[in-house]
Structure 1
Amino acid sequence: MGGTRWLLIETFGGGEPTVIGLGSAPRKFVPLAQMFRHRETLATLRAAIEATQAALRPLEILSGDGRRRTVTQPLLIDDERMHAVLVWSGPVEEEVPPRDPVGAWYFNLATGQSTRSNDLLDLYGVAPENRARDHAIAGVFTRVITNSDESDALAKVVRSAPGTEHQAVWTVRRDDGALRAAHFSCRMLEEQSAAGKSEVLMRGVTHDIGDAFDISGAPPPVILEHRVLDAAAEEGEFRAIVDLRTLRLLRWMGPPMPEIAWQSLAGEPVPAIHPEDLPAAKTMSRDLAHARTSALLRLRTLDNGWKPVHARAVLMALDQYTTAALVTVREADPRTP
């Protein structure tokens, strides 16, 4: 421990803290004792993590002989919860090095909502007037360019099994247009809500590891599968991946349908299928096991009205055990019964 690199250590819960970054190099949930064999170093590191988690603020801790210092920077998702901590240790006379941007976030898989920390909004380059911390999980995919493991990540969201972990290097498009390689690390945890209800949350951090064009693992701006899907879409058609169980939007494939409420931003209507059309939507979902399905549905709009759309769906495999619906929607002709 020490030198010019910061350690990024996750403290999501559900297990002992592990290393997920060394400088700008991602690490795969490495146990502290596996990376640091020296007993005194390990004890110093664990004490720094515990002290930071208790204080929930940056700390500078001097060694007993006053010759070394350990500096910490917590990654908070709110005033009471730390998702990770950055740790640097070195001689007191050594200048603390700059650190990579890192931000915390979580998905509430019971509600389909995503919450972002201010650090993550900094990483994204979001202007102060646009800082919505809460939005639909599907909104995450409007900013990130995923890799070939996207189906695996979506399958984990659909299954929502506590203890599940995921890591990936995806490309983030900042609000200033810069493309950054970002290492995502997360773990699913079963927790009690304030109302005492059991919920599964995916808690994670995003670590900016450099310019996307300099990182070989970062996906290119448009991967082939997305180009093929976009080319196959007819004029006026919009495609989305939908959770078969909850009928909740997982992500748009290509641009979202205009006027539809889907982002769950503050001040916007809650995304919904018209209550009278829910039976038809559930029938579509159920019958997909046997054939392609279609129906006329009404979707809630941004002005709190309802837009009639023709929806047709095909079954898609996210992994060997998990399926979703690829749904194509287009505005319904009002003359069509």
Structure 2
Amino acid sequence: MAGGWLLIETLDHSVPSVIAQGSAVKNMVPVETFFKRSKAKSELLALISRVCTTAEPERITLPGNRFAVTEAICNDWGQVHGLWLRIIEEDEQPLAHDRAWAFVWNLTRGRVTRSKGLAPEGSPEEQDRREWSIAEAFNILETGSDASETLVKIINADPGTIHQTTWPQKRPDGTLHDVNFAVRILLDHVPGRSGADDRILRGISHDLGEANNHDDPESPIMLAELVAATSADPGEYRAIVDVHSLRLLRWYGEPSPELVWEYEDLRRLGQPPIHPEDNSVVERMQRELDTGRAVGQVRFMTKSGNYQPFDLLAKLIVLNRSTTAALVTFRKPLRPFVTDIR
């Protein structure tokens, strides 16, 4: 067991699992299984449990004059999402490990938070804001053949659902890095807020270095096949939207340069993204989507701080037997804005 760092996710502290050994991805192997032949199994399991509680680095003695060292990976408010663990000899100093960071997607409120562990200490990237909309988080990912499965889980997965995938992530300098993502969906109470618990996607990400082409060309269902075979016309922008919450999940292609959809802009302007008087239009379109498509003209908040009308064409896309979403095409209107009277 002495050797490389183990990356252990503890998103559900009762069932931690190994998701990487060095830079080699492991498919969420339960720690009970991973350490089943180790003479130090009981000490290692107790160590993992303790770090989940304290979030403090530890160094303990193991049988055979060896040591285990740990480093916790926490989100911004101190919850432990995982830890690095390495077993070393008595006179050995542990080498550096890969970068890993925690992130939280509040699926109920459409807010994404990541830890500052994404960036090296002191780098300009460390100053990047750490709160995004879900669509912003998707916008820096080159999603693979499991993109549809991921959207299904975001829309309606039950608490306890797990997912692991490796996708290229776009860095601020434009390079792509392969990132190993492991997530669990759960219900959690948001401090300071009353009402029902929120659906939370807790995750841990592991930077594997510069991206390689690893997608499976034989995968039977690609998101692109569900969306469209042709590119958008000039002036058109397409997005995948949760039919029930109307939340923008991701852009398909380039995002609209006019619409307000990024978290900081939404918070700064403090206005709903859809003009309140047009909610009836949106509700009518939701009902009509049962037939497969709907059209309407809706006013959206723009980066100028004003509501502007857009023509919408919404088409139903089926992600699996129980989950649908809408592909919405936005374009500036070809006719003057009129109040919907249907």
TM-score by length of 2: 0.88
Give the aligned partner of residue 96 of structure 1: 94
Q: Which residue of 2 aligns with 1:191?
A: 188
Secondary structure of 1:47 counterpart: helix
- 2:2 matches 1:2: yes
CA contact (8 A) 2:116 2:126 kept: no
Structure 1 residues 250 and 86: CA distance shift in structure 2, 3 A: same
* Counterpart code for 1:86: W
Structure 2 residue corresponding to 1:177, chosen from 152, 174, 177: 174
Superposed CA offset, 1:241-293 (max 9, x none): 00000001000001111121111126533552111111111211221111311
Instruction: Tell me the equivalent position of 2:269.
Output: 269
1:86 matched to 2:84? The reply is yes
Residue aligning to 1:326: 327
Confirm or deny: 8 A CA contact 1:171 1:218 kept in the other structure.
Answer: no
Q: Within 5 A, what are the aligned runs for 1:142-291? A: 142-194=139-191, 195-197=193-195, 198-213=197-212, 216-217=214-215, 225=224, 229=228, 231-265=230-264, 268-269=268-269, 272-291=273-292
Paired residue type of 1:272:
P
1:75 to 53, 73, 76: 73
Q: How far does residue 238 in structure 1 lie from its aligned partner after superposition?
A: 0.1
Whole-angstrom CA distance in 2 between matches of 1:242 and 1:312: 12
Q: Among 127, 138, 156, which residue is 2:135 paired with?
A: 138
Supply the distance in 1 between the matched residues of 2:319 and 2:299 (Cα, whole angstroms). Answer: 27
C-alpha distance in 2 between matches for 1:156 and 1:283: 26
Aligned counterparts of 2:156 and 2:239: Cα–Cα separation in 1: 18
Q: Which moved more, 1:302-311 or 1:39-48?
A: 39-48
Distance of 2:131 and 2:96 partners within structure 1: 29
Deviations 1:295-324 (A, max 9, x none): 000111223321210011100011222100
**8 Å contact 1:59–1:73 — kept in the other structure?**
yes
CA distance in 2, matches of 1:150, 1:272: 26
Structure-to-structure mapping, 1:52-63, within 5 angstroms: 52-63=51-62
Q: Tell me the matched-pair count.
A: 328
Residue-by-residue CA offset, 1:61-95 (whole Å, 9 max, x unaligned): 23477x32211111100243000011001102123
8 Å contact from structure 1 (residues 301, 307) kept in 2: yes
CA contact (8 A) 1:109 1:200 kept: yes
Please state how far the C-alpha of 1:206 moved relative to its aligned partner. Answer: 1.0
Distance 1:126 1:312, change over 3 A: farther
Give the superposed CA RMSD: 2.4
| Change in 2 beyond 3 A, CA 1:122/1:296 | farther
Give aligned-pair identity as a percent: 34
Q: Which amino acid aligns with 2:205?
A: T
Q: What's 2:105 paired with?
A: 107
Partner Cα distance (1:70, 1:318) in 2: 44
- Whether the 8 Å contact between 2:178 and 2:210 is mirrored in structure 1 is yes
